[in-house]
Structure 1
Amino acid sequence: MKVFVIGAGGNVGRLTIEQLKVAGQQVTAGVHRAEQADDLQQAGYQAEVFDLLSQPQEMAQQLKGYDAVVFAAGSGGKTGADMTILVDLDGAVKSMQAAENAGIARFIMVSALNAEDRTKWFAIKPYYAAKFYADEWLMHRTNLAYTILEPGALTFDPGTGKVSTSPSDDGSKSISRADVAAAIVASLNDPSSIGKVIPLVSGEQPIVEAIKNAK
C-alpha cells in the first residue's frame, strides 16, 4: 500500500511513518517545513512539504498515485484559535477534498476522544470544535472510505500494543502516541474499520484485535 501521511513532522505522524515503514508499506511523509523534510530524507524516508494552507487542487497533485491518506496533522490547540481553524478544520477538509480529487478512497483521520460530544469538551474547545466539524464533513460530505480514530490525552509513554475502544467514566483517558500510531497502521490493514469512529485509550486488548472488533 502506498500511503501519504499528512502531519508526519508531529509526534504521532513521525511514529506512524516509522511503523508503516517497518510494516513494509510505501510511505511518504507530508510535513509543514522544508527542514523537517530534509531531516526525514536524511533518515531514509520519502518526505515533502505539504502545505495545509494551499488549495485542494494543489494538494491533489501531490496525492495522486497514493492508495491512502492519513491525516495526523494538528495545531493541538496550542497555536491560537485562528490556526486551529485553518489547520485542524479547513486543512483537514481540504485534505479530504484533495484525496477525492486525486482518486484516493481510503482516509484515516486522527481526531480526539469525545469530539462528537460537546458536553465532554473539557478544554481547548476551539480544537474540539474543529475536530467535530472536520469529522462531520468526512462522514457526511465525502465518499471516502474513512476511519476516524479518537485518541484520549496523548502521552510519551512507550507503546504497550494494547488499547481499549470502550472508555469508561472511571477508566483511563490517555494513550501513548506509539499506540495511536499502531492503531493507524492496524486500521489501514483492516477493511472492517471502514466507516467506523473508534475511541482509543490505554487498555488490555491487543491493538489489531481491538480495531477489528470495534463497533
Structure 2
Amino acid sequence: MNVLVVGANGKVARHTIKKIADAGHHPVAMIRKEEQAEDLLKLGAADTVVADLEADFEHAFKGIDAVIFAAGSGGHTGADKTILIDLWGAIKTIDAAERNGVKRFVMLSSMGTADPDKSENIRHYLVAKKVADDHLKQSTLTYTIVRPGSLTDEAGKGKIKLEEEIQVRDNTITREDVATVLTEVIERENTYGKTFEILNGDTDISEALQAV
C-alpha cells in the first residue's frame, strides 16, 4: 500500500515513516524542501514528494492508496499558521484525497478537540482541529481520527490508554507510541469511522486497538 505521510518531517511523522516501512507498506514522504528528502529516505520512505500545504499540492496524490495527515503548525507559530496548516491545510488534503480516489485517511488530531471550549490556552488550535476533523467525518473517505495527549520524546512504551474521550488528562504519550497507533490503524477495519483519544497506559497497543 502506498501511504502518503503529510508533514513528513515532523517528529511523529518521522517515527511513522519507519514503522510504515517496517510493516511492509510504501511510505511516501510529503515534504516542503528537497533537502529533507535524503534523511527521510534513510528512515524508510519509499519515495518523497515536494509539496506545500499552503500552495497547490494535487500532484502528491498520484498512485496513493492511503493518507496519514501528521502536519502541524507547531508550538512556536501564531494563530494564522494554525488556520493555514491545521485547519485549511487539512481540509485541502481531505478534498484532494477524495478527488484522487484515495479511500483511506488517518488523521493525527489532538486530545481536547471534542470540546475546545474546555481549553483556554490552546482553544484556537483545538477549534482548528475540530473543524478539520468534522470535515473529514462528512467526507466519503474511510477515516480514523487519533487524538493523543501531550507528546514526549521518550522511547515508545508499547502500552496505551484508549477511550473515545478520556476524562482524566494528567498524562502524556510518546511520539513513538502515537506513530505505532497511526501505522496499526491503517488496515484495522474495526477502527474505520472511529475517533478516539490516547495516552500512555497499561494496555498493549494492539490489544487496545482491537477493542475499539
TM-score category, normalised to shorter length = over 0.9
Contact 1:6-1:72 within 8 A present in 2 as well: yes
**Aligned equivalent of 2:161, options 150, 159, 164:** 164
Residue type of the alignment partner of 2:140: N
Q: Shift of the alpha carbon at 1:69?
A: 0.2
TM-score, normalised relative to structure 1: 0.91
Q: Shift of the alpha carbon at 1:152?
A: 0.2
2:155 is aligned with 1:154 = no
Residue type of the alignment partner of 2:21: K
Contact 1:61-1:102 within 8 A present in 2 as well: no
For 1:160 and 1:138, locate their aligned partners in 2 and report how far apart those are by CA, in whole Å.
Answer: 30
Residue type of the alignment partner of 2:159: K
Contact 1:2-1:27 within 8 A present in 2 as well: yes
Distance 1:168 1:149, change over 3 A: closer
SS in 1 for 2:5: strand
Distance 1:168 1:109, change over 3 A: closer
Distance 1:172 1:11, change over 3 A: same
The answer for the alignment partner of 2:12 in structure 1 is 12
Contact 1:77-1:124 within 8 A present in 2 as well: no
Contact 2:6-2:67 within 8 A present in 1 as well: yes
Could you tell me the percent identity over the aligned residues?
40
The answer for the alignment partner of 2:51 in structure 1 is 50
Residues 97-148 of structure 1, C-alpha deviation per residue, up to 9 Å, x if partnerless? 11011100100000000201123324222211110110011112x1110000
The answer for the alignment partner of 2:127 in structure 1 is 129
Residues 24-73 of structure 1, C-alpha deviation per residue, up to 9 Å, x if partnerless? 11111111222212332355532222210123xxx333212111000000
The alignment yields a C-alpha RMSD, in angstroms, of 1.6
- How many aligned positions are there? 210
4-13 or 59-68: bigger deviation: 59-68
Q: Shift of the alpha carbon at 1:168?
A: 4.7
Residue type of the alignment partner of 2:149: G
Distance 1:174 1:42, change over 3 A: closer
For 1:38 and 1:171, locate their aligned partners in 2 and report how far apart those are by CA, in whole Å.
Answer: 38
Residue type of the alignment partner of 1:33: K
The answer for the alignment partner of 1:74 in structure 2 is 72
Distance 1:69 1:168, change over 3 A: closer
TM-score, normalised relative to structure 2: 0.93
31-40 or 204-213: bigger deviation: 31-40
SS in 2 for 1:109: strand
For 1:26 and 1:188, locate their aligned partners in 2 and report how far apart those are by CA, in whole Å.
Answer: 12
SS in 1 for 2:97: helix
Contact 1:105-1:145 within 8 A present in 2 as well: yes
The answer for the alignment partner of 1:36 in structure 2 is 36
SS in 1 for 2:147: strand
The answer for the alignment partner of 1:89 in structure 2 is 87
Residues 12-34 of structure 1, C-alpha deviation per residue, up to 9 Å, x if partnerless? 00000011111111111111222
Residue type of the alignment partner of 1:131: K
Contact 2:87-2:128 within 8 A present in 1 as well: yes
For 2:194 and 2:49, locate their aligned partners in 1 and report how far apart those are by CA, in whole Å.
Answer: 30
Q: Shift of the alpha carbon at 1:172?
A: 4.1
Distance 1:77 1:127, change over 3 A: farther
The answer for the alignment partner of 1:144 in structure 2 is 141
